[in-house]
């Protein structure tokens, strides 16, 4: 992927999500001219900023820099995996730490209580 393609991708994603260069700069805590520099292809964002951008836009880093297609959903990586029945873990969470995590990081007990409260609003299909 060349510098111009990366720059065009950054601009396309910003516009698609309805941000001005100034709004994006404010979110990322950088100068507006920095965003402009990325979109002209004169520089690339640092890796930590690229991760922020990917999270903000709901894309992977590969999609952000054009290594993979933007039309592929971020969740397409898991389409070959069986869905996880979170409600199963809400009833018996003894296996939760091994099976359920957020990006490889275990979910805290406090956050798990919030998840369980949300799941309690959805009846199980097998009940």
> What does the alpha-carbon distance between residue 121 and residue 118 come to, in Å, rounded to a whole number?
6
107: Cβ–Cβ under 8 A, 6 or more apart, which residues? 96, 100, 101, 115
Grouping H, G, I as helix, E, B as strand and the rest as coil, residue 49 is: helix
Per-residue pLDDT tens digits for 102-111 = 666 777 778 8
- pTM here? 0.55
Residue 28: burial class (beta carbons within 10 Å; 0-12, 13-18, 19+): middle
> What does the alpha-carbon distance between residue 107 and residue 82 come to, in Å, rounded to a whole number?
20
Chain-centroid distance, C-alpha 28: 15
Per-residue pLDDT tens digits for 47-96 = 989 989 988 888 888 888 877 766 554 444 444 456 666 666 666 666 66
């Amino acid at each position: 992927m060349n510098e111009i393609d990366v720059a065009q991708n950054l601009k396309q994603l910003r516009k698609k999500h309805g941000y001005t260069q100034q709004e994006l700069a404010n979110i990322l805590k950088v100068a507006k001219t920095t965003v402009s520099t990325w979109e002209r292809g004169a520089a690339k964002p640092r890796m930590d900023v690229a991760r922020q951008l990917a999270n903000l836009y709901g894309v992977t880093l590969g999609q952000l820099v054009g290594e993979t297609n933007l039309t592929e959903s971020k969740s397409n990586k898991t389409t070959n995996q069986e869905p996880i029945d979170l409600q199963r873990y809400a009833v018996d969470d003894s296996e939760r730490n091994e099976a359920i995590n957020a990006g490889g990081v275990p979910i805290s007990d406090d956050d798990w209580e919030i998840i369980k409260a949300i799941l309690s609003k959805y009846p199980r299909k097998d009940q």
